[in-house]
Structures are given as structure tokens and as C-alpha cells.
Structure 1
């Protein structure tokens, strides 16, 4: 069994020996993206398992080992990890926990410390916690993010966004239930197989992959009239995680709606851009800003290619990151960047401008930035866009799923009433347009 090694601060390290013996558990957030990421890590020699567990016991475990004032996403992530370790499914002496660390002002940067404290409280302090970060916050000899891996991860993010964006526009209308999900798995298998052979890791190859991914979903037979589109925004974990939002996308589908969920790419560009804004606002090294600009411009280039592929394939394409920046002018400054910052408000604006005025804003307990740029901006948006139909849904340990779903049902009822009213108003004009000239 691998020897436990600690650094000078007393932090338990994840060693090279552990890499050979241990299974790394990773909390779920984005099923497609994280699914690809887990398989990429496996190809790097790690044993990785993404946790898809659900149930009230996860919340209760989080409440047991995490302070009540901690934000709901932290409670869920830590609760899910500790629940898995205590489940009996794994050898507790051969398991490690994988968690991201952003390094920003959001409390997500401190999840890792809360997790270690919770493990100690549970008598599991011998379980190593591995930080996934690009800020040099923590390093482990047995877990190193190499350039080749990071390159694959960036491309996996882009592919994941395209798969999710196109599949969401097909799934509500598929003739054969389950065909969209089957296509998702086929795309993931093909992409990962290509990456193993060094394919799909250059800009031209990525553009070619974009084309066949779009075509794969375009080939799925669909039927039925357009459904009410509902945008989903909010704190990043609750917005994406089925555990965090009580399977919100599945619920919207069951209610006859089409979920519209902004991709992860904008958030990644947002985080890179924040480093540049820091230099502009507070000063700093010009070289840091220059490096960030180069990286940002490359990701933007990839994003534009993805958007072009969607548009050419007949799918409804989102706007670019620069479009979001233009939309936010007059609402929030770019210095408002804690948590999701101005990006959350910009996503609501983009949804409204692109014909999706019905929006669910997911609000987790304890996320102060989210309440400011999310719920705090709804009144202003409704003043400027009276036809917008936005509902803020609170997610916390005491919130019941039935109450959340009932509030969303009211929003959907309002959306259908507004659509019917709009249809009635446009019908006379349409009839007038069809009247022959001279009559």
C-alpha cells in the first residue's frame, strides 16, 4: 500500500505510488464534459470514477460535515464525495478525491479546505484530496497537468459544448426516444478514439470534427411543432449539475419545454478575461495580460468556428463572448466578476435577445454574487424587456423539489399564455399580408 507523504505544511500529498493504486472520485457537474474529462484522465494512467449518485442522503451528509453557512454547491459536492467514500463501495485506503480550485474570490476556491476539514471530522483524514487548478495553488507529485493533457481538455470542452448545444435542440423533438443520448455517446467515443491517435487536436481538425458532430445530430429524425424554449442560468454548479438542480433539464423536457443552457466556453473565456481586467483595474505585469490575451483569442477563435458550424448546420447558434460583453454595457461593469459576475446577467440578456425570454435563474443558498447579478438584476431586465419571463428558483437543503417545480410550472403557464397572446396579435397582420394587392 502506498505510503502517506505530507508536505511541509502538513498537507497529505497524492504521490506517484497512489496514482498506481488509488481510484480518484470526481463530483459530477456537466455529464458530457466531465464524462470526456474522466476518460482523458484514464488515458493518462489514472483510475477515475465520476460520481452520479443522487438522493437525500447526500444533502444530509453535507449538512453533517459542513458548516450550515456554507453555500449549497459546497455542501452538495462535499456531501457527495464523503457519501461515496462511506458507501462501502470503495477501499477507503485506496481512494482519493478530485476537486477543482478556481483561485478567485468565490468560495469555490475554499471547497478543498472545507473538504479536508470534513474528512477529518469523519475520521477519513488519510484520504488524499487532489486540487485541479491552473493557478499553482496546490501541487501533487502524482497528479500533474501536462501540456498534452491540457490541450486535449480544451478541445474536449469545445466538443462538449457543441454536443450539448445541438443535442438540446434535438432531444425534445426526437422521433425515437433515446436516439439523441445514443448519438452523444457515439460522438464521445469517436472523439476520444481520435484523440488517442492524435487527431482532432488542431484547429483545422477541430473544425472538421465540428461539422460531423453537427451532422450527426442533424440526421436524427424529429417531429412536432416548436416548443416553449426555457433558458437556464445561474451559479455554475447548480446551473449544470443534475444533482444540484434536481434534474431541471429533465423536468423541463417532461413539461413539454425545450431547455436552452448556455455553454461552458463563455465561462472559461470569462475567467481568462478577468485576469486581463485585473491588470487594467489594479495594475500588474503586462506579460500576464499578454499571455491571457493570446489564450483568450485562441479560445474565441474556436468558439467562432463552433458557432459557424451550428449555424451552417441549421441549428440555433449562440452569440460570441464579445456579443455578451456588448450586451452587458449599461448594466454592470466588467469589474463585477466574483462568481459568475456580469456573465450571468449577460447570459440572460442574450437569451432574451435571441428569442428565449423564458428563463429559470438558479439561486443556491449562500452564493452572494449570484444573488446580486442574478436575482438582483431581474427587476431591471423586466423593466427594459417587459415581455421577459424570468423566475428565480432557490436551491438549498430545506427547499422542496415540489415547490421548485410548481414555481417553474407557473412560469411555463405564463410563457404559453404570452405565446398565445403574441400569436393572436400577429394573426391579423399575417392575414393582411396575404391579402392580394388591389383588394
Structure 2
């Protein structure tokens, strides 16, 4: 069901982070749904859903819950699906005639024929039409993107599909469409797994080995950003910040880490390479270069300051990951970023490029402040954004839907 993906540890391994009382609370919730089958569906791309499910599904099974995960891949409408995903985020004005609409829905319906469960949780916008032809099982759609301003050409169809679900899960209220039935909608913040390869502790030797592999100097300051190559990732602002910081702080390096999994990513990646090819202090690294979870972990831990300059974001898990590593973060206040970066407490928010520059330089000049913000950021993630909290929220939702006919709280 989950191919060769690395799986997380059992629930007992997390008692160190959450304590015995919270662990027992999770165990009691799991007891309520042990007689039911839960199926998670996601696309096969490297998405926030896949990163979450690598940990969530094994944890559910370690609790005795009958949970499975199916990677839906190879559907005929994949090209259409990718465009629909971007249109729902308002990044593409899609012409969606009836014949394409029919192909898309029919292709997904064919996949639907093999599904059997008491509750189906659909991840990723590409899989929305799977709810067509639903049976008596409960259906939940979990959205990770900012769809607050979808393209008018696609939203009428998408809205009809969304409204067929029993519950809708969003990373925060700011990313919900305004005309959605809020009676079915609830917020479950995405989370990180502190024991995964992306977030587990690493030795200094391991970190230095990765830096050497990518020719990054550990003895000089590093500004870093981890963000997919998307139109909203704002890499041009990132370059401008780096250039202005470097004018006032010699020796600074820039590390940009992203994935090349989405439509259009290669073009944005190549443009960034073209803009930075003459500067040896800029390192643009991707999964194609051999950046896996362990490498990303090591690179993030080497950052002097982590930036997050996206113009739109559903949640921005890379922010929580940086905070968990006690790295100070400077970010634009979009989507749910202010929930993670509480300005002046767990990090710094900035409303302009110049403000990002000033705050980045301030953290470099005041390492005591960087350490203080970093530690408070880690504590904030521990309280609010670990996989165990996500697990508990999901168990509550499952129990609510499976044991009653009411909408989720």
C-alpha cells in the first residue's frame, strides 16, 4: 500500500515528546474506532500528504486501528489533474470544457471501483472526484493548499465535488474558499514527525559531511530557504534579500532547497540557475542533486537564518521543520505562517523585502536573539505541530463521523 517508503516508529516512541498522560489519551481515542476500516488515498507525488502519511498510517496501525494507505498513480487524467490542482490555487485560469470534465471524473471513478472501507480520507486536490459514486462509507477530503482564491473557471465543478464529502479538513481557516459550507469544515494543522529522517537529531559529523557534499562552507553564515519550485515560492525576492544582505555582511551564502515534482517546476528551477550561475555563494539544490530527507535535515540545521518568502502557502511545513531544529525564521505572514512564527516570540515576521533584510541582519548580529527565538520556536512546535497532535485530531474526527451521523465539531 505504501511502496518502499520509510515508516515511522510505534506510538510508544513518542512518549518522550508528549508524556504519559497524552499518550494514554491517544490510546483511549484509538479504542473507539478499532472495529472500523480507514483508508487513506494520496497521489504518488512528493507532497505534504505523502510526508504526513509516511508517519500517520503506521502510527494508526501501532494503535490497533485498521488503517491502509493507497498511492493512486498512473491515472489517464494525470495531466488534467495537475492543471486542476494549480487552478484551484488560483495559479492558472483553466479552460475546463465539458469533455475534459467528463474524462477527468470518469478516470477517477474507475479507480473508485476497488475501494472498500468504513471511512475514506482523500488527500491532494487531484483526487477530489473519487467521491463520485460513493457508497455508504464516510468521506473526508484533506486539503493542504491555499484555495481561498480559486480560478472561477474551475471552482463551480470543484465546489460540487467538495460538497459531496462528509467533512473537509484545512490547514487553517485563511485558506478556505469564502463560499464553502463551513458546517462541514474544520481545521487540523499539518505536522512534522520528530523521529523521521527529515527531523531526527544528527551529529555534527553527519551535518558536515552533507555540507561538504554540496560544497557549502560551514564556517560562513548561511541564509536558507526550503520551498518547492512554484510560482508563489518567490525565489526572486529571496535573491534580492541575499544580494542586499551580502552588501552589508561579507561572506554570506545562500542555500535554496526544493523539489522538482510539480508541473512547471523545471522551468522555475532553470530560471533560478540562470540568475545565480555567476555567484559561487548561491547553492540551488534539489532531489535530482541527491537531496533526500537526511540531506535536507542536515542543510536546515546548518542555516544561520531560515527564510520563508512565499506569497501564498497552505501551511509551509518547512517552517515548522526549521523551528523544530531551533533555527530562527524570518517569514512573510501568509496562510498559516503566523500560527507557526509568532512575531517576536518564536520567530520574526516581515511585511516587505527591506524588513526581511533588516531582520535577517539583526539575527546575524545578535546570535543570542537568534538562539532565544530558535529555542522558543522549537518549544512552540513541540506543543502544537508534532505528528502526535495531528494523530489525536484525526482520531477525534474519525470517531465523530463513524459513531454518529452528525457533522464534525
Normalised by the size of structure 1, how large is the TM-score? Answer: 0.32
TM-score by length of 2: 0.33
Structure with greater proportional helix content: 1
